[in-house]
Structure 1
Amino acid sequence: MPPLFGREFAADPYPAYAWLREHAPVRKTELPSGVEAWLVTRYADARQALADQRLSKNPGHHSERSAHGKGKVGIPGERSANLMTHLLNIDPPDHTRLRRLVSKAFTPGRVAEFEPRVRELTDQLIDGFAGRGSADLIHEFAFPLPIYAICDMLGVPAEDQDDFRDWAGMMLRHQKPGAPGGPGQPGGPRGGVGRAVKKIRAYLAELIDRKRENPGEDLISGLIRASDHGEHLSADEAAAMAFILLFAGFETTVNLIGNGTYALLNHPGQRDRLRRAVAADGGDEGLLATAVEELLRYDGPVELATWRFATEPLVLGGARIAEGEPVLVVLAAADRDPAKFDHPDTLDLSRRDNQHLGYGHGIHYCVGAPLARLEGRTALAALLRRLPDLRLAADPSELRWRGGLIMRGLRTLPVEFTAEGRPENSCEGSDGASPV
């Protein structure tokens, strides 16, 4: 069996996942944290597991409650900060109630209304480095875009948004190469993430109080109004909902933009095809849409779905899973399964009927997927339109992937391009200033 979880695996996990799919599609594996979990790698088994009601999201069902396993599942610091009651940790009926509330912010109509703001943010961030001829696309583009977007949606005032950017940066910086931990991930270096979580929790408590006195049209105000009108949303639930939307909503989009751009740079024929499409009159929205879906499938932002725990003995893919045992669905492996996808290791931006699992499946399907797709389409189109000769400025072997099991993303993505003339009043994206 190929080695798992090391630096080489982080750079390219797909050969190891192919071996698991063929030889051990549902395999109990000891994670670097010491916790044992079942890894599910075939598409059919993965889709079944994601929708199986016998697999709970509630960490209270974890059988390993000893000191050995304590604190090694879930997001660092969320328990001590009273942020456990969010969509990634609960089952129906509470999950149904809370998801119904937050889903109102991510309807196609509401997301479409947000599109001009996403375009504005995208162009302002590119303005910050386009005149320089080089950039780190993670730090200067893929990272700040979703932070500022989700802050706008939540109703975080502009003067506070750089604090959120700093706290989110703490989360990413503490994901070390080859380590098992990080946001929402098993084990690993948790102290820095935990401190960031506590800062966010304290700020959200204060913000919720302010919004209760002076509500707006933002998502946090909407959650407060729902609570005041009999939806029985506690203060801790409101804070936890806002927290997980920020926490899960930004890193998945960082990785979608970063991984997607990196894949395009490594496939110049596909990149040029998409560049020509977006440069055409108004762009080829059809190709852009299928391109984002294919990039989600080919090297998506979420490598493993978040933790599930068996509430009773069950059989999955021929393996007998005991009550209380953790199950991790490997989305990256399922989305390269040749039993589901023709030529799965080939990047084909026009791939049709692309039923990937990049944003999950079933009742826990990512509620923010419409916004993430909008941000991905907008970001990639802007890069290709404004920086048509974008190219990698480092050998691929020099790039490092953030450590962890749940998320998959690059630490940096250095690029070069022909510099634009600097627009008047452009903001400097490299100095940490908010483009708002």
Structure 2
Amino acid sequence: MDFDVTQDWHVASPYDFLRRLRHERPVFRSEHLGAYVLTRYADVRAAYGDARRFSSKGSLTISRSLTEETRARLGEHGSFLSSFVANVDPPDHTRLRRSVSRAFTPRAVAALERRFRELNEDVLDRVAGRGRADFVEEIAHEPSVKLTAAFIGVPAADEEFVQRRVKEWFQLFLSPQPPGRQLELADGFLTYLDYVDRLVVARAKDPQDDFTSLMTSLIGEELSHREVVELISTILLGGNDTVPNQLGNSVLRLLREGQWPVPPERVANAVEECMRIDGAALGSFRFATTDVELHGVTIPAGELVLLSTDSAAHDETVFPDPERFVIDRPNADAHMVFGYGIHFCVGAALGRLQLRTALDVLGARLPGLRLAEGASVAYRRSIVGRGLPSLMVEW
């Protein structure tokens, strides 16, 4: 058996497979991924902290599955994310991280909580009377999309366009697609980049109170124009995709475990345990800069390496009885869904705030939430993400 994103089990329930790897082949060469895989918690964490041997440079540009025609269509943007903060090593990483962190101060993040609560209440005002909805399509995404758009500075009229393009962004680079579909997605992606580019140019001329204006003000001093475009593009991915996916995964888990609604005093830890057991992010890629000897296996220099945070979060040496959901698990927040070390996600505080606030509001407004009768559950297929395209619920 190998990592195989075309199989449903790969995303939905890979844990027996990952457990065998941790016990028998902790450094595993995946032919399907074309990469070595680290599955033990200690090894994943050590690799995150070792930028000298496990380089981030180019690690997010997972375009090896793209056809030559698609690469030609993308041109210079085939290496998109080449300067994104999670895709570079120090000293570039240090400079980019310092710039981005200016927008994620504790005060700034806290100020967003009230607005996000209002956005969740607005959605529920519209759907609560119906007694039934697709949680993913009709509840989970809109508040996060709107909050992220306001934070970045995307006009309300453009939110739907950005959300659609971000989905195409994800499919093109992080999910296997047939050749014809790749070309369609490539065209959409180039349109998206052009949009973000024009937003940056507009804010340079007429600054507003938003993230884009703050980053644009640093062009020429700390950042390049391209770096700003890529930062904005990727934060939009988190708000339009990763956070809503995690909320969907979390609500499904809580409903299945009979833990709904979550008492307010348990929400913060419940969020961490949901991320641990059903993380929306499955891992990060790195490149070995030198031959790395680990558990009797040599990872040759230049090889791609997947740091499987999904496996690490189910490592029984760190999380006793890891397949069991424990809402008050003492070390639930030791998961690495947000990465670790210098590449710890710059938006982690905002993501956690959104998840806590959403569960708080949803629990208060829809205490009788349950899975719809006969609802089928299937995860979308992806190399690095876990998310539900649909989740029918009733109340």
Q: Which TM-score applies when normalising by structure 1?
A: 0.82
Partner of 2:257: 267
Equivalent residues in 2 for 1:284-433 (5 A)? Answer: 284=265, 287-305=266-284, 307-354=285-332, 355-395=334-374, 398-417=376-395
CA offset digits 1:122-158 (Å, max 9, x no partner): 1112222111111111111222222211111111122
Structure 2 gaps of 5+ residues are none
CA contact (8 A) 1:296 1:358 kept: yes
Q: CA shift at 1:81, angstroms?
A: 7.9
Give the structure with the higher percent helix.
2
Shift of 1:212: 0.9
Distance in 1 between residues matched to 2:28 and 2:325, nearest whole Å: 28
Q: How far apart, CA to CA, are the structure 1 residues paired with 2:133 and 2:342?
A: 39
Matched, 1:18 2:19: yes
Cα distance in 2 for residues equivalent to 1:43 and 1:93? 27
Deviations 1:13-41, CA, capped at 9 Å, x for gaps: 1121111111111100112xxx5101111
Q: Secondary structure at the match of 1:360?
A: coil
Give the structure 2 partner of residue 427 of structure 1.
none
Deviations 1:62-93 (A, max 9, x none): 9x9999997999xx888248553212321111
Post-superposition shift, 1:46?
0.9
Residue 223, structure 1, aligned to residue 215, structure 2: yes
- Inter-partner Cα distance in structure 1 for 2:364 and 2:64: 54
SS at match of 2:108: helix
Range 349-358 or range 80-89, more displaced? 80-89
1: CA distance, partners of 2:11 / 2:65: 28
Does the Cα contact within 8 Å between 2:70 and 2:186 map onto a contact in 1? no
**Closer, same or farther in 2 for the Cα pair 1:45/1:81, shift >3 Å?**
closer
1:86 alignment partner in structure 2 = 84
State the alpha-carbon separation in 1 of the partners of residues 380 and 63 from structure 2.
Answer: 28
Q: Please list, as runs of the form range in 1=range in 2, the aligned pairs for 1:240-279 lying within 5 A after superposition.
A: 240-268=230-258, 270-272=259-261, 274=262, 277-278=263-264
CA distance in 1, matches of 2:388, 2:103: 29
User: Structure 1, residues 186-227: CA drift from partner, whole Å, max 9, x if none?
Assistant: 644544543332122111111111111110121110011122
Cα distance between partner residues in 1 of 2:308 and 2:347: 20
Say if 1:370 and 1:65 are closer, same or farther in 2 by CA, change over 3 A. closer
Contact 1:77-1:193 within 8 A present in 2 as well: no
Q: Counterparts of 2:66 and 2:393 in 1: how far apart (Å)?
A: 43
Look up the equivalent residue of 2:260 and give its one-letter code: R
Aligned position for 1:165: 163
The 3-state SS of whatever aligns with 1:241 is helix
Tell me the TM-score normalised to structure 2 length: 0.90
After superposition, the Cα gap between the structure-2 partners of 1:72 and 1:210, relative to the gap in structure 1 and judged at 3 Å, is: closer
Corresponding residue for 1:209?
201
- More moved, 9-18 vs 324-333: 9-18
Percent identical: 35
Opposite residue 57 of structure 1, the aligned amino acid is S
Query: Is 1:9 aligned to 2:16, yes or no?
Result: no
**Aligned partners of 1:196, 1:252: CA distance in 2, in Å?**
20
CA 1:126–1:81 in 2, change beyond 3 Å: closer, same or farther? farther
> Aligned match of 2:224 in 221, 234, 244?
234
Structure-2 residue corresponding to 1:425: none
Instruction: Name the CA shift for 1:141/1:78 in 2 (closer, same or farther; >3 Å).
Output: farther
The one-letter code matched in structure 2 to 1:236 is: R
> Which residue is 1:57 aligned to?
56
- CA distance in 2 between counterparts of 1:29 and 1:383 reads 40
* Cα pair 2:63 2:78 within 8 Å, conserved: no
Structure 2 vs 1, CA of residues 312 and 68 (structure 1 numbering), >3 Å: closer, same or farther? farther
Cα distance, 1:4 vs structure 2: 4.2
Structure 1 residue 324 displacement after superposition: 0.7
Aligned residues: 387
Supply the AA of the counterpart residue of 1:259: N
CA RMSD of aligned residues (A): 2.7
Is the alpha carbon distance of 1:87 and 1:304 closer, same or farther for their aligned partners in structure 2, counting shifts above 3 Å? Answer: same
Distance in 1 (CA, whole Å) between partners of 2:70 and 2:317 is 34
Work out whether 1:149 is the aligned partner of 2:147: yes
Contact 1:36 1:326 in 2 (8 A): yes
Q: What is the 5 A alignment of 1:183-198?
A: 184-185=173-174, 187-189=176-178, 190-198=182-190
Query: Do the aligned partners of residues 191 and 128 (structure 1) sit closer, same or farther apart at CA in structure 2, a change above 3 Å counting?
Result: farther
- Shift of residue 319, structure 1, vs aligned partner: 2.2
The amino acid that maps onto 1:159 is A
What code does the residue aligned with 2:219 have? S
Q: Kindly indicate whether the alpha-carbon contact (under 8 Å) linking 2:288 and 2:304 is maintained by their aligned counterparts in 1.
A: yes
Secondary structure of the structure 2 residue equivalent to 1:226: coil
Aligned partners of 1:217, 1:374: CA distance in 2, in Å? 21
Distance 2:366 2:63 in 1: 52
Conserved 8 A contact 1:25-1:40: yes
CA distance in 2, matches of 1:291, 1:213: 44
- Retained in 1: the 8 A contact 2:70–2:183? no
